[in-house]
Amino acid sequence: MKDVATAAGVALKTVSRVVNEEPGVTPATARRVLAAIERLGYRRNESARLLRRGRTATIGLVIEDVGDPFYSGMGRAVEQVALAHGSLMFSGSSGEDPRRERDLVLAFCARRVDGLVIVPAGPDHGYLRPELDAGVAAVFADRPGGLDADTVLCANSAGAYAGVAHLLRRGHRRVAFLGDDPAIFTAAERLAGYRRALADAGLGADPSLVAMGPPERAGAALSAMLAGGDPPTAVFTGNSRITVAVLRAGHRPPLVAFDDFELADLLVPGVTVVAQDPMGLGRTAAELLFERIAGGRGPARRIELPTRLVPRGSGELPPAPGTAGPGHR
Amino acid sequence: MKDVATAAGVALKTVSRVVNEEPGVTPATARRVLAAIERLGYRRNESARLLRRGRTATIGLVIEDVGDPFYSGMGRAVEQVALAHGSLMFSGSSGEDPRRERDLVLAFCARRVDGLVIVPAGPDHGYLRPELDAGVAAVFADRPGGLDADTVLCANSAGAYAGVAHLLRRGHRRVAFLGDDPAIFTAAERLAGYRRALADAGLGADPSLVAMGPPERAGAALSAMLAGGDPPTAVFTGNSRITVAVLRAGHRPPLVAFDDFELADLLVPGVTVVAQDPMGLGRTAAELLFERIAGGRGPARRIELPTRLVPRGSGELPPAPGTAGPGHR
DNA sequence: CGCCCCGATGACAACGTTGTCGGCGAGGAG
DNA sequence: CTCCTCGCCGACAACGTTGTCATCGGGGCG
């Protein structure tokens, strides 16, 4: 900018005025400055500008895995909203590691991002407190953080309830639940929805029909259940990785899966899913964030986005005749 | 930092020394400073630091769609390499729009990123010239840019050749090619590989077996070919979106698809693919980039990553008896 | 004709760091 | 005892901007 000023024979400040389209510059002067800018290939140093102004027009996104379709869809939505607000987006993956999440968030804060969208990897966000007090905005997405900040969730419990109820309406009385580690918020919520659906249908909860754990064990868990004395007639899977694990293991039971996935419609039978809305999640979280960045006060909000049941065949199968012997109800 | 200095009763510079772990500070002083830092919850302003030092420890990633599994896998690999080099990553989607790509890149450059990994949306990157001259490093990934910079590609032509040859070995003589707009580099390359495979097998190129265009038209295009007088007995699809479009249209021809996709193994029959290596693409591109950022000189390099043929069933089907009447060869 | 006002421009400080250099005090050597 | 050296520390400028205020000149009005 100094060079431009020299080249155009004006003061630094005048160049600044031209670049920022501030009023009070003669068209003739402005033309001279613009010509010099063009000639020198000058581009304003945004970092310096933002250092001076105090706003960085940058947000940070911390998700579990940039490569996971669910989260990357979310990221895309966040990016779109950021774009609309003239902000750029840092992004990083926590890989479910709370320490890595913390490091990323702090690195973003050190860059003085205006705000953060975080998919919490761990339950404890005490490290965020000083940052929030320092004026950084933060929104938790997909799972609640350990802090009283705006939060956007999917209707995990209600969605699982709807999915299980869908199976019950088809006459199933023994529905297995295959979920992830219950330490994960969404897994626990979905399990709760499953239990509520059974209870509301007047069915007792049979612990032998519930298997919680890492997806790679889901296939074997289901095999064991099916080989047992009183097998399930239908299955509800708690997330896509588990769904895929079950399918890869060769099982094609009557099935409703939580979370939609690419090509679910092309399998035979098509997989009935309780679809979440990753783009909606990202969009909503980013919108809340920018409200806060714009100065929005008030108590933390908690928004639950509805899920949508998408029947595709696997969830509409009746109990296989003979699988559930008489005497069950 | 000023506050910390005051609180600890030392000069600004001493705090800076402590924060940067520079030598020449008495342990006692350092302790006092660290205590003050802790008490005030001070965190170094990275932007200001980097403004002074000239390096931002930041790279920019411009891909076609953050939400596309192929590109987001690539992004994850880039992120990992960036992390290993202590850098953060801006990311943005161009959505195949050259103008948006340009805006993103220039926004990143205005933030003075050290380098860029770009999946080119358009053929012209003249706008990058001044930035490169200004010292920004850039690597093109997946497609070449219109500029002499490091480039990492998949073996598009060789991969397509291998996929088509695979079908020819099974006895197919009329293989259709369904590809994307030939203005897209990868589409054109794959078409070339297809043609080369046919030629090397002594088969003439039948234009009626080639359909290039947007994925949403691929299903109809194949339907038309199959309804024609001399239909193909096998199909080669040029990318995953086209593959999925064909499958959604209900076709299950003998098929080899360029680019792997989630659940390809679970369809019936499993889809034989020519798998690319998105993580390898991202990793390699990022590694080249950081070499340049570290000062690596020398001419632009062009690396082609090999593809891998993954047989899953659909590509091993023989010609359906009767589809290719006698008289063809 | 003189004064005042206003529009255009410029000088300077500040944002939060780090690089450079100089001062100051202690300890060792002559 | 004096001088030199060396280790610790601080003052100041600089990075590239923008905000604040001063300056300068011209035109309108009394």
pLDDT in tens, B159-192: 999 999 999 999 999 999 999 999 999 999 999 9
If one counts every other C-beta atom within 10 angstroms of the C-beta of residue A226, the result is 15
Q: In this structure, which amino acid lies at residue B159?
A: G
Classified as helix, coil or strand, A317 is: coil
Q: How far is CA B304 from CA A327, B62, B140, B155, B278, in A?
A: 64, 20, 12, 5, 12
Task: Verify that B170 and B267 share a domain, yes or no.
Answer: yes
If one counts every other C-beta atom within 10 angstroms of the C-beta of residue B307, the result is 24
Task: Verify that A30 and A100 share a domain, yes or no.
Answer: no
Cβ(B178)–Cβ(B219) under 8 Å?
no
Is residue B328 in some structural domain? Answer: no
pLDDT digit string, tens, across residues A168-202: 999 999 999 999 999 999 999 999 999 999 999 99
Mean per-residue pLDDT over chain B, rounded: 93
Classified as helix, coil or strand, B295 is: coil
Task: Verify that A160 and A259 share a domain, yes or no.
Answer: yes
Is residue A124 in some structural domain? Answer: yes
Q: What percent of chain B has pLDDT over 90?
A: 88
What CA–CA distance (Å, rounded) separates B195 from B161? Answer: 8
Write phi, then psi, for A7 (nearest 5 degrees). Answer: -60, -40
Question: Of A298, A304, A300, which is closest to residue A148 (Cα–Cα)?
Answer: A300
What CA–CA distance (Å, rounded) separates B287 from B179? Answer: 31
pLDDT, residue A322, reads 54
Cβ(A218)–Cβ(A246) under 8 Å?
yes
Name the DSSP class of B241. H
**If pLDDT is split at 50, 70 and 90, which confidence band does B322 have?**
low
- Asked whether residue B13's C-beta has any atom of DNA/RNA strand D within 7 A, the reply is yes
Q: Do strands A272-275 and A308-310 pair parallel, antiparallel, or not at all (unpaired)?
A: antiparallel
If one counts every other C-beta atom within 10 angstroms of the C-beta of residue A34, the result is 15
According to the 3-state scheme, what is the secondary structure of B12-51?
A: HHHHHHHHCCCCCCCHHHHHHHHHHHHHHCCCCCHHHHHH
Task: Verify that B142 and B220 share a domain, yes or no.
Answer: no
pLDDT, residue B325, reads 43
Name the DSSP class of B313. B
Find and give the residue nearest to D20, measured CA to C1': A13
Between residue 35 and residue 74 of chain B, the positions with Cβ below 7 Å from nucleic chain D are 48, 51-52, 54
The position carrying tokens 């938790």 is A140
Mean local confidence (pLDDT), A42-48: 92
Cβ(B257)–Cβ(B272) under 8 Å?
yes
Asked whether the predicted pLDDT for residue A324 surpasses 60, the reply is no
A43 nearest nt, CA–C1':
D16
Distance to chain B for A307, nearest Cα, Å: 20
Is residue B215 in some structural domain? Answer: yes
- Of B46, B109, B111, which is closest to A110 when you measure between CB atoms? B46
Cβ(A206)–Cβ(A174) under 8 Å?
yes
Task: Verify that A196 and A147 share a domain, yes or no.
Answer: no
Residues of chain A neighbouring B42 (CB-CB closer than 8 A): none
Question: Of A109, A284, A108, which is closest to residue B90 (Cα–Cα)?
Answer: A108
For A24 and C4, how far is CA from C1' in angstroms? 20
Is residue A320 in some structural domain? Answer: no
Straight-line distance from the first to the last Cα atom of chain A, in angstroms, rounded to the nearest whole number: 80
Q: Do B262 and A267 touch (CB under 8 A)?
A: no
**If pLDDT is split at 50, 70 and 90, which confidence band does A321 have?**
confident
| Contacts of residue B202, Cβ cutoff 8 Å, sequence gap at least 6 | none
pLDDT, residue B55, reads 87
pLDDT digit string, tens, across residues B40-60: 989 999 999 999 998 899 999
Mean local confidence (pLDDT), B21-47: 92
Q: How far is CA A37 from CA A8, A10, A34, A46, A142, in A?
A: 9, 12, 5, 16, 46
pLDDT, residue A122, reads 87
Q: Of all helices (H) and strands (E), which one includes residue B151? A: strand B150-154
Cβ(A72)–Cβ(A91) under 8 Å?
no
Task: Verify that B21 and B164 share a domain, yes or no.
Answer: no
Q: Of all helices (H) and strands (E), which one includes residue B71? A: helix B69-84
Q: Do A88 and B76 touch (CB under 8 A)?
A: no
Mean per-residue pLDDT over chain A, rounded: 93
Task: Verify that B191 and B205 share a domain, yes or no.
Answer: yes
Domain that holds residue B113: 54-154+278-306
Classified as helix, coil or strand, B123 is: coil
For A299 and D14, how far is CA from C1' in angstroms? 44
Is residue A15 in some structural domain? Answer: yes
Q: How far is CA B102 from CA A106, B121, B321, in A?
A: 30, 9, 52
Number of domains in chain B: 3
pLDDT digit string, tens, across residues B189-219: 999 999 999 999 999 999 999 999 999 999 9
Residue of A nearest to B52 (CA): A48
Task: Verify that A138 and A72 share a domain, yes or no.
Answer: yes
Interior angle at CA A252, CA A246 and CA A256, nearest 5 = 75
Is residue A288 in some structural domain? Answer: yes
Is residue B321 in some structural domain? Answer: no
The position carrying tokens 């891998």 is B308
pLDDT, residue A39, reads 92
Task: Verify that B147 and B283 share a domain, yes or no.
Answer: yes
Cβ(B170)–Cβ(B272) under 8 Å?
no
pLDDT digit string, tens, across residues B66-81: 878 899 899 999 999 9
- CA dihedral (B114, B118, B124, B128) in degrees, to 10, reads 0
What CATH number should be reported for the domain holding residue B31? 1.10.260.40
Task: Verify that A262 and A296 share a domain, yes or no.
Answer: no
pLDDT digit string, tens, across residues A196-240: 999 999 999 999 999 999 999 999 999 999 998 999 999 999 999
What CATH number should be reported for the domain holding residue B223? 3.40.50.2300
pLDDT, residue B54, reads 86
Task: Verify that A177 and A247 share a domain, yes or no.
Answer: yes
What CA–CA distance (Å, rounded) separates B117 from B286? Answer: 7
Mean local confidence (pLDDT), A111-137: 93
Q: List the nucleotides on chain C closer than 7 A to a protein CB.
A: 7-20
Contacting A residues, span 64-93, partner chain B, CB-CB under 8 Å: 65-69, 72-73, 75-76, 79, 83, 88-93
Is residue B219 in some structural domain? Answer: yes
Question: Of A271, A263, A284, which is closest to residue A235 (Cα–Cα)?
Answer: A271
Residues of chain A neighbouring B72 (CB-CB closer than 8 A): 66-69, 72, 75
To test the contact with chain B by mutation, choose from A80, A104, A263 the residue with the greatest count of B C-beta atoms within 10 A, namely A263
- Of B41, B90, B133, which is closest to A130 when you measure between CB atoms? B41
Question: Six-digit token pair at A117?
Answer: 């969208």
For A13 and C8, how far is CA from C1' in angstroms? 12
The reply to whether A227 touches chain B by the CB within 8 Å rule is no
Task: Verify that B128 and B60 share a domain, yes or no.
Answer: yes
| Contacts of residue B6, Cβ cutoff 8 Å, sequence gap at least 6 | none
Cβ(B181)–Cβ(B214) under 8 Å?
yes
Question: Of A198, A202, A190, A203, which is closest to residue A160 (Cα–Cα)?
Answer: A190
**If pLDDT is split at 50, 70 and 90, which confidence band does B324 have?**
very low
What CA–CA distance (Å, rounded) separates A235 from A166? Answer: 11
Cβ(B142)–Cβ(B119) under 8 Å?
yes
Q: List the nucleotides on chain D closer than 7 A to a protein CB.
A: 7-20
Q: How far is CA B12 from CA A319, B2, B9, B46, in A?
A: 75, 6, 9, 16
Q: What percent of chain A has pLDDT over 90?
A: 88
In A201-263, alpha helices (H): 218-227, 240-248
